[in-house]
């Protein structure tokens, strides 16, 4: 792949209200807060922003840092029509710690082969089946249970072989594999790894039992 000039957009995500909302779903606000010439500088931007907010918090005697949900860093190509595609994506927790990243570029060019999905190595999977996770979709966060995992490189190759034998050619596989998650009603979503976050709010016993029941009954999945 030809080398392209890229920039790294830093986005902050915060709870919609100063009082943290409750599960099973709540809204967040999202704002771009900086553009950087390298990943290292963008990650430094996260630390600088948190430090700045803590200073203001002390001066104003408020709890503004508790309103932070997390951050995302998106690497985009300069001087190219990219629509919503990115070279890489990463998400971070509210304290600035790295959480997860994409495993492939979403960019493709007329004079180059389509990008190929390599699969997600098992050691790079944050979740296991049955885990509860926060799923970010636009400006909404939903508590969901993991019902399916992305394919590993080995599983990806086996899948390609099955399709090749069945259809006589390899499948077009230029998108990253998502997780398969379910909400409290059994409706499914396909979030990418960078749109999943750990559970950080209280999950009531009643709500936990509801998700356990959904996960235990795959026939009810929608």
Q: Concatenated DSSP letters for 172-188?
A: P--S----EEE-TTS-E
Averaging pLDDT over each range in 33-42, 51-60, 159-168, which range is the top one? 33-42
pLDDT at position 126 is 94
pTM of the model: 0.88
* Chain segment 124-143, per-residue pLDDT in tens: 999 999 999 999 999 999 99
* Chain segment 174-201, per-residue pLDDT in tens: 577 889 999 999 999 999 999 999 999 9
Tokens coding 194 = 């960078």
**Closest residue by Cα to residue 14 from 31, 33, 29, 34:** 29
| Backbone angles phi and psi of 36, in degrees to 5 | -135, 160
pLDDT at position 18 is 67
**Res. 161 pLDDT band, cuts 50 70 90:** confident
Cα separations in angstroms, 19 against 27, 197, 199: 12, 19, 17
* Separation of alpha carbons 65 and 48, rounded Å: 13
């Amino acid at each position: 792949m030809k080398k392209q000039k890229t920039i790294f957009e830093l986005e902050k995500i915060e709870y919609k209200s100063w009082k943290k909302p409750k599960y099973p779903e709540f809204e967040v606000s999202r704002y771009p807060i900086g553009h950087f010439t390298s990943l290292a500088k963008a990650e430094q931007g996260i630390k600088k922003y948190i430090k700045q907010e803590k200073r203001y918090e002390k001066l104003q005697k408020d709890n503004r840092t508790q309103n932070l949900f997390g951050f995302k860093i998106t690497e985009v190509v300069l001087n190219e029509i990219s629509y919503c595609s990115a070279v890489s994506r990463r998400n971070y927790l509210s304290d600035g710690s790295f959480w997860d990243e994409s495993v492939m570029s979403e960019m493709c060019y007329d004079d180059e082969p389509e990008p190929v999905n390599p699969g997600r190595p098992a050691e790079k999977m944050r979740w296991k089946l049955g885990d509860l996770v926060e799923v970010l979709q636009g400006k909404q966060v939903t508590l969901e249970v993991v019902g399916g995992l992305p394919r590993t490189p080995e599983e990806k190759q086996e899948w390609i072989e099955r399709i090749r034998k069945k259809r006589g050619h390899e499948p077009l596989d230029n998108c990253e594999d998502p997780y398969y998650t379910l909400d409290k009603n059994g409706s499914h979503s396909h979030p990418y790894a960078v749109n999943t976050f750990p559970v950080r709010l209280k999950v009531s016993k009643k709500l936990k039992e509801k998700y356990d029941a959904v996960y235990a009954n795959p026939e009810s999945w929608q």
